[in-house]
Amino acid sequence: MIMRLTHNAGFHKGSLLLAVLPIVLAMQPRPLQDRLSQVSSREGSAPSKPEMPPQDITCPNTVQGLKKLFKNGSKSTIYELVGDYKDYVLKAAEVNNKNQMELNIYNFVKSRYMIPVEAHAIGKNGKQLMLMRKVENGSLYDYVTKKPNHLTEDEARPLMACLIQGLYAMHANNIIHGDPKPDNILMIDDCTAAAWCDFEHSARFEGANGEVAEKDIPEGSPGFYSPELAQLVEGGVTRASDLFCLGKIFYFMLHGVSPIPKLTTLLQFVAGIHKVQDIIGEHVSPAAADLITRLVALEINDRIGMDETIDESYNTLQSYL
Protein backbone atom coordinates (compact mmCIF):
# COMPACT_ATOMS: atom_id res chain seq x y z
CA MET A 1 0.00 0.00 0.00
CA ILE A 2 1.33 3.45 -0.92
CA MET A 3 0.44 6.39 1.33
CA ARG A 4 0.46 10.09 0.58
CA LEU A 5 2.47 12.06 3.12
CA THR A 6 1.11 15.24 4.62
CA HIS A 7 2.98 18.22 6.00
CA ASN A 8 3.73 18.09 9.72
CA ALA A 9 5.27 21.11 11.39
CA GLY A 10 7.12 18.96 13.87
CA PHE A 11 8.56 16.63 11.26
CA HIS A 12 12.27 17.09 10.49
CA LYS A 13 13.18 17.33 6.80
CA GLY A 14 15.84 14.66 7.23
CA SER A 15 13.20 12.32 8.56
CA LEU A 16 10.91 13.27 5.69
CA LEU A 17 13.17 11.86 2.99
CA LEU A 18 13.59 8.65 4.92
CA ALA A 19 9.86 8.58 5.63
CA VAL A 20 9.10 8.51 1.91
CA LEU A 21 11.37 5.51 1.47
CA PRO A 22 8.45 3.12 1.97
CA ILE A 23 7.19 4.64 -1.30
CA VAL A 24 10.54 3.94 -2.89
CA LEU A 25 11.18 0.56 -1.34
CA ALA A 26 7.59 -0.55 -1.97
CA MET A 27 7.41 -2.69 1.13
CA GLN A 28 10.52 -4.72 0.41
CA PRO A 29 10.58 -7.91 2.55
CA ARG A 30 13.95 -7.12 4.12
CA PRO A 31 13.81 -4.71 7.10
CA LEU A 32 14.25 -1.09 6.04
CA GLN A 33 17.14 -0.58 8.42
CA ASP A 34 18.97 -3.46 6.75
CA ARG A 35 18.13 -2.10 3.28
CA LEU A 36 19.74 1.22 4.19
CA SER A 37 22.82 -0.19 5.91
CA GLN A 38 26.07 0.79 4.22
CA VAL A 39 27.72 -2.33 2.88
CA SER A 40 30.87 -2.60 0.87
CA SER A 41 30.05 -5.52 -1.40
CA ARG A 42 27.17 -7.02 -3.28
CA GLU A 43 25.22 -9.95 -1.87
CA GLY A 44 27.09 -13.21 -1.99
CA SER A 45 30.82 -13.74 -1.91
CA ALA A 46 32.78 -10.77 -3.26
CA PRO A 47 35.26 -11.54 -6.06
CA SER A 48 38.91 -11.23 -5.18
CA LYS A 49 40.50 -7.93 -6.15
CA PRO A 50 42.87 -8.11 -9.11
CA GLU A 51 46.26 -6.52 -9.39
CA MET A 52 46.89 -3.83 -11.96
CA PRO A 53 47.74 -5.21 -15.41
CA PRO A 54 51.37 -4.93 -16.59
CA GLN A 55 52.37 -1.40 -17.50
CA ASP A 56 52.74 -2.19 -21.19
CA ILE A 57 49.03 -3.00 -21.14
CA THR A 58 47.92 -0.07 -19.02
CA CYS A 59 49.81 2.63 -20.85
CA PRO A 60 47.23 4.17 -23.21
CA ASN A 61 50.00 5.80 -25.25
CA THR A 62 51.02 2.38 -26.60
CA VAL A 63 47.43 1.09 -26.93
CA GLN A 64 48.94 -2.43 -26.81
CA GLY A 65 46.56 -4.76 -25.00
CA LEU A 66 43.68 -2.30 -25.12
CA LYS A 67 40.76 -3.77 -27.03
CA LYS A 68 39.08 -0.51 -27.99
CA LEU A 69 38.14 2.94 -26.85
CA PHE A 70 35.19 2.39 -24.52
CA LYS A 71 34.30 5.97 -23.61
CA ASN A 72 35.96 9.31 -24.20
CA GLY A 73 34.75 11.75 -21.56
CA SER A 74 35.57 15.39 -20.98
CA LYS A 75 37.96 14.60 -18.13
CA SER A 76 39.07 11.03 -18.79
CA THR A 77 39.22 8.17 -21.25
CA ILE A 78 37.98 4.65 -20.56
CA TYR A 79 39.42 1.62 -22.34
CA GLU A 80 38.18 -1.95 -22.56
CA LEU A 81 40.85 -4.56 -21.81
CA VAL A 82 41.55 -8.00 -23.28
CA GLY A 83 42.86 -11.39 -22.16
CA ASP A 84 42.89 -11.98 -18.42
CA TYR A 85 41.40 -8.50 -17.93
CA LYS A 86 38.50 -8.80 -20.38
CA ASP A 87 36.01 -8.29 -17.53
CA TYR A 88 37.51 -4.90 -16.68
CA VAL A 89 37.79 -1.39 -18.03
CA LEU A 90 40.66 1.01 -17.47
CA LYS A 91 40.03 4.68 -16.74
CA ALA A 92 42.91 7.03 -17.60
CA ALA A 93 42.92 10.64 -16.40
CA GLU A 94 45.32 13.47 -15.66
CA VAL A 95 46.81 13.47 -12.17
CA ASN A 96 45.22 16.39 -10.32
CA ASN A 97 43.28 17.22 -7.17
CA LYS A 98 39.94 16.25 -8.73
CA ASN A 99 41.14 12.76 -9.63
CA GLN A 100 42.70 12.39 -6.20
CA MET A 101 39.29 13.20 -4.73
CA GLU A 102 37.76 10.55 -7.00
CA LEU A 103 40.27 7.98 -5.74
CA ASN A 104 39.59 8.97 -2.14
CA ILE A 105 35.89 8.40 -2.72
CA TYR A 106 36.52 4.96 -4.19
CA ASN A 107 38.88 4.06 -1.34
CA PHE A 108 36.97 5.39 1.67
CA VAL A 109 33.25 5.61 0.81
CA LYS A 110 31.85 2.11 0.80
CA SER A 111 28.42 1.37 -0.60
CA ARG A 112 27.09 -1.48 -2.70
CA TYR A 113 25.53 1.22 -4.87
CA MET A 114 28.79 2.84 -5.98
CA ILE A 115 30.99 1.29 -8.68
CA PRO A 116 34.35 0.61 -6.96
CA VAL A 117 37.91 0.93 -8.24
CA GLU A 118 39.56 -2.49 -7.96
CA ALA A 119 43.15 -1.23 -8.34
CA HIS A 120 44.98 1.94 -9.34
CA ALA A 121 48.44 3.16 -10.30
CA ILE A 122 50.30 5.92 -12.09
CA GLY A 123 51.01 4.73 -15.64
CA LYS A 124 54.24 5.15 -17.58
CA ASN A 125 52.68 8.07 -19.41
CA GLY A 126 52.00 9.87 -16.12
CA LYS A 127 48.25 9.22 -16.20
CA GLN A 128 46.23 8.18 -13.18
CA LEU A 129 44.97 4.69 -14.04
CA MET A 130 41.95 3.12 -12.35
CA LEU A 131 40.85 -0.47 -12.94
CA MET A 132 37.11 -1.17 -12.63
CA ARG A 133 34.88 -4.11 -13.42
CA LYS A 134 33.02 -3.78 -16.71
CA VAL A 135 29.28 -3.29 -16.42
CA GLU A 136 27.54 -4.77 -19.45
CA ASN A 137 24.07 -3.39 -18.83
CA GLY A 138 24.87 0.24 -19.63
CA SER A 139 23.67 3.40 -17.93
CA LEU A 140 20.30 4.33 -16.46
CA TYR A 141 19.90 6.71 -19.40
CA ASP A 142 20.30 3.82 -21.85
CA TYR A 143 17.99 1.59 -19.84
CA VAL A 144 15.15 4.15 -19.68
CA THR A 145 15.41 5.46 -23.24
CA LYS A 146 15.34 1.94 -24.70
CA LYS A 147 11.96 1.37 -23.09
CA PRO A 148 8.90 2.17 -25.27
CA ASN A 149 7.96 5.08 -23.00
CA HIS A 150 9.47 5.10 -19.53
CA LEU A 151 9.75 2.99 -16.39
CA THR A 152 6.75 2.03 -14.33
CA GLU A 153 6.77 2.97 -10.66
CA ASP A 154 7.30 -0.69 -9.79
CA GLU A 155 10.46 -0.66 -11.93
CA ALA A 156 11.65 2.74 -10.69
CA ARG A 157 11.20 2.28 -6.93
CA PRO A 158 14.01 -0.24 -6.29
CA LEU A 159 16.39 1.80 -8.47
CA MET A 160 15.51 4.97 -6.58
CA ALA A 161 16.17 3.13 -3.31
CA CYS A 162 19.66 2.20 -4.57
CA LEU A 163 20.42 5.79 -5.53
CA ILE A 164 19.28 7.15 -2.17
CA GLN A 165 21.49 4.67 -0.35
CA GLY A 166 24.51 5.51 -2.51
CA LEU A 167 24.04 9.24 -1.95
CA TYR A 168 23.54 8.65 1.76
CA ALA A 169 26.96 6.97 1.93
CA MET A 170 28.60 9.90 0.12
CA HIS A 171 26.86 12.59 2.16
CA ALA A 172 27.67 10.80 5.42
CA ASN A 173 31.32 11.26 4.44
CA ASN A 174 30.86 14.99 3.65
CA ILE A 175 31.03 14.46 -0.11
CA ILE A 176 28.59 15.46 -2.83
CA HIS A 177 28.50 13.64 -6.15
CA GLY A 178 28.49 16.95 -8.00
CA ASP A 179 27.08 15.63 -11.28
CA PRO A 180 24.15 13.28 -10.58
CA LYS A 181 22.52 12.36 -13.89
CA PRO A 182 21.28 9.17 -15.62
CA ASP A 183 24.54 8.87 -17.60
CA ASN A 184 26.46 8.62 -14.31
CA ILE A 185 24.39 5.71 -13.01
CA LEU A 186 25.12 2.15 -14.14
CA MET A 187 22.63 -0.71 -14.14
CA ILE A 188 23.82 -3.70 -12.10
CA ASP A 189 22.50 -7.08 -10.94
CA ASP A 190 20.70 -7.83 -14.22
CA CYS A 191 19.17 -4.35 -14.23
CA THR A 192 17.41 -4.87 -10.89
CA ALA A 193 19.65 -2.32 -9.14
CA ALA A 194 21.66 0.80 -9.96
CA ALA A 195 25.01 2.20 -8.81
CA TRP A 196 26.65 5.63 -9.00
CA CYS A 197 29.80 6.11 -11.05
CA ASP A 198 31.98 8.94 -12.44
CA PHE A 199 33.01 11.05 -9.46
CA GLU A 200 35.14 13.51 -11.43
CA HIS A 201 32.97 16.43 -10.29
CA SER A 202 32.65 15.34 -6.67
CA ALA A 203 33.60 17.76 -3.92
CA ARG A 204 33.87 17.87 -0.14
CA PHE A 205 31.58 20.12 1.89
CA GLU A 206 32.37 21.50 5.33
CA GLY A 207 31.02 23.83 7.98
CA ALA A 208 27.64 24.27 9.65
CA ASN A 209 25.87 24.99 6.36
CA GLY A 210 27.63 22.15 4.57
CA GLU A 211 28.69 24.30 1.61
CA VAL A 212 31.29 23.35 -0.95
CA ALA A 213 34.19 25.84 -1.11
CA GLU A 214 33.92 28.19 -4.08
CA LYS A 215 37.13 26.84 -5.61
CA ASP A 216 35.73 23.29 -5.52
CA ILE A 217 32.27 23.96 -6.97
CA PRO A 218 31.65 21.27 -9.61
CA GLU A 219 30.90 22.01 -13.23
CA GLY A 220 27.89 19.71 -13.43
CA SER A 221 25.81 19.04 -16.55
CA PRO A 222 23.37 21.66 -17.92
CA GLY A 223 20.48 19.20 -18.22
CA PHE A 224 20.81 18.34 -14.53
CA TYR A 225 21.96 21.62 -12.97
CA SER A 226 20.51 22.70 -9.64
CA PRO A 227 19.55 26.42 -9.41
CA GLU A 228 22.39 27.18 -7.00
CA LEU A 229 24.97 25.39 -9.15
CA ALA A 230 23.90 27.61 -12.04
CA GLN A 231 24.14 30.59 -9.62
CA LEU A 232 20.52 31.54 -10.24
CA VAL A 233 19.53 31.63 -6.58
CA GLU A 234 21.25 32.64 -3.37
CA GLY A 235 23.05 29.98 -1.39
CA GLY A 236 26.04 27.77 -1.96
CA VAL A 237 26.31 24.29 -3.42
CA THR A 238 25.46 21.69 -0.75
CA ARG A 239 24.25 18.10 -0.48
CA ALA A 240 20.82 19.55 -1.28
CA SER A 241 22.13 20.19 -4.79
CA ASP A 242 22.53 16.42 -5.24
CA LEU A 243 18.98 15.90 -3.98
CA PHE A 244 17.55 18.39 -6.49
CA CYS A 245 19.16 16.32 -9.25
CA LEU A 246 17.89 13.12 -7.64
CA GLY A 247 14.34 14.43 -7.98
CA LYS A 248 14.97 15.16 -11.66
CA ILE A 249 16.34 11.62 -12.09
CA PHE A 250 13.22 10.11 -10.51
CA TYR A 251 11.08 12.22 -12.85
CA PHE A 252 13.23 11.03 -15.78
CA MET A 253 12.64 7.40 -14.83
CA LEU A 254 8.87 7.89 -14.86
CA HIS A 255 8.64 10.11 -17.98
CA GLY A 256 11.69 9.34 -20.14
CA VAL A 257 12.80 12.98 -20.21
CA SER A 258 14.26 15.48 -17.74
CA PRO A 259 11.74 17.92 -16.22
CA ILE A 260 14.27 20.74 -16.68
CA PRO A 261 16.28 19.67 -19.74
CA LYS A 262 18.31 22.82 -20.40
CA LEU A 263 19.48 26.08 -18.89
CA THR A 264 16.70 28.14 -20.47
CA THR A 265 14.11 25.86 -18.84
CA LEU A 266 15.94 26.24 -15.51
CA LEU A 267 15.68 30.03 -15.89
CA GLN A 268 11.93 29.66 -16.42
CA PHE A 269 11.77 27.37 -13.37
CA VAL A 270 13.53 29.97 -11.19
CA ALA A 271 11.19 32.68 -12.52
CA GLY A 272 8.17 30.60 -11.59
CA ILE A 273 7.04 30.17 -15.21
CA HIS A 274 7.98 26.49 -15.50
CA LYS A 275 6.57 24.40 -12.63
CA VAL A 276 7.56 20.76 -12.30
CA GLN A 277 4.38 19.83 -10.45
CA ASP A 278 2.37 20.97 -13.48
CA ILE A 279 4.13 18.63 -15.92
CA ILE A 280 4.05 15.42 -13.87
CA GLY A 281 2.05 12.86 -15.85
CA GLU A 282 -1.32 11.52 -14.74
CA HIS A 283 0.18 8.02 -14.66
CA VAL A 284 2.34 9.02 -11.65
CA SER A 285 0.86 8.26 -8.23
CA PRO A 286 0.22 11.16 -5.82
CA ALA A 287 2.88 9.81 -3.45
CA ALA A 288 5.57 9.65 -6.16
CA ALA A 289 4.57 13.10 -7.44
CA ASP A 290 4.86 14.40 -3.87
CA LEU A 291 8.39 13.00 -3.58
CA ILE A 292 9.49 14.54 -6.89
CA THR A 293 8.17 18.02 -6.08
CA ARG A 294 9.72 18.02 -2.61
CA LEU A 295 13.11 17.08 -4.04
CA VAL A 296 12.89 19.49 -6.97
CA ALA A 297 12.13 22.53 -4.79
CA LEU A 298 13.54 25.91 -5.82
CA GLU A 299 14.75 26.96 -2.37
CA ILE A 300 17.40 24.79 -0.74
CA ASN A 301 15.67 24.96 2.64
CA ASP A 302 12.45 23.63 1.13
CA ARG A 303 14.05 20.43 -0.17
CA ILE A 304 13.93 17.12 1.64
CA GLY A 305 17.21 16.50 3.46
CA MET A 306 19.21 13.50 4.60
CA ASP A 307 20.58 15.03 7.79
CA GLU A 308 19.39 12.44 10.29
CA THR A 309 21.08 9.09 10.71
CA ILE A 310 19.39 5.82 9.85
CA ASP A 311 19.09 4.78 13.48
CA GLU A 312 17.49 8.05 14.56
CA SER A 313 15.00 7.95 11.72
CA TYR A 314 14.08 4.27 11.92
CA ASN A 315 11.62 4.77 14.79
CA THR A 316 9.90 7.54 12.83
CA LEU A 317 9.45 5.16 9.92
CA GLN A 318 7.58 2.55 11.94
CA SER A 319 4.31 4.47 11.65
CA TYR A 320 4.61 4.47 7.86
CA LEU A 321 5.25 0.73 7.43
Distance between CA 283 and CA 289 in Å, rounded?
A: 10
Domain ranges of the chain: 14-27+137-320, 55-133
Write the pLDDT tens digit of every residue in 256-276.
999 998 888 888 888 889 999
pLDDT in tens, 130-142: 888 888 889 999 9
Answer with the residue of higher pLDDT: 272 or 6: 272
Please tell me the predicted confidence (pLDDT) of residue 280.
95
pLDDT beyond 80 at 189: yes
Q: Which helix (H) or strand (E) holds 167?
A: helix 153-172
For residues 72-96, one letter each, b for 16 or more C-beta atoms within 10 angstroms of the residue's C-beta and e for the rest, the string is eeeebbbbbbeeebeebbbbbbeee
Q: Based on DSSP, count helices (H) and strands (E) in the chain, helices before strands.
A: 12, 10
Q: Assess contact for 232 and 134: CB atoms under 8 A.
A: no
Average pLDDT over residues 10-24: 46
HSE value, Cβ hemisphere, 13 Å, CA-based, for 210: 16
At the fourth CATH level, the homologous superfamily of domain 14-27+137-320 is: Transferase(Phosphotransferase) domain 1 (1.10.510.10)
What's the chain's average pLDDT? 74
Mean per-residue pLDDT, 97-105: 79
pLDDT, tens digit (0-9, with 9 covering 90-100), for 22-69: 444 443 434 333 434 433 333 334 456 677 666 555 454 444 455 555
pLDDT at 56: 54
Neighbouring C-beta atoms of residue 160, cutoff 10 Å = 25
How is domain 55-133 classified at the architecture level of CATH?
A: 2-Layer Sandwich (3.30)
Asked whether residue 195 carries a pLDDT value surpassing 90, the answer given is: yes
Q: Beta partners for 144? A: none
Calculate the CA dihedral of residues 249, 251, 257, 258 and round it to 10 degrees.
-60
Average pLDDT over residues 8-12: 40
Question: Residues 186-205: what's their mean pLDDT?
Answer: 90
d(CA 233, CA 250): 23
Reported pTM = 0.77
27-36, 179-188, 277-286: least confidently modelled range: 27-36
For residue 196, which phi and psi values (nearest 5 degrees)? -75, 145
Distances (CA, A) of 267 to 75, 220, 230, 245: 27, 16, 9, 16
Amino acid at 83: G
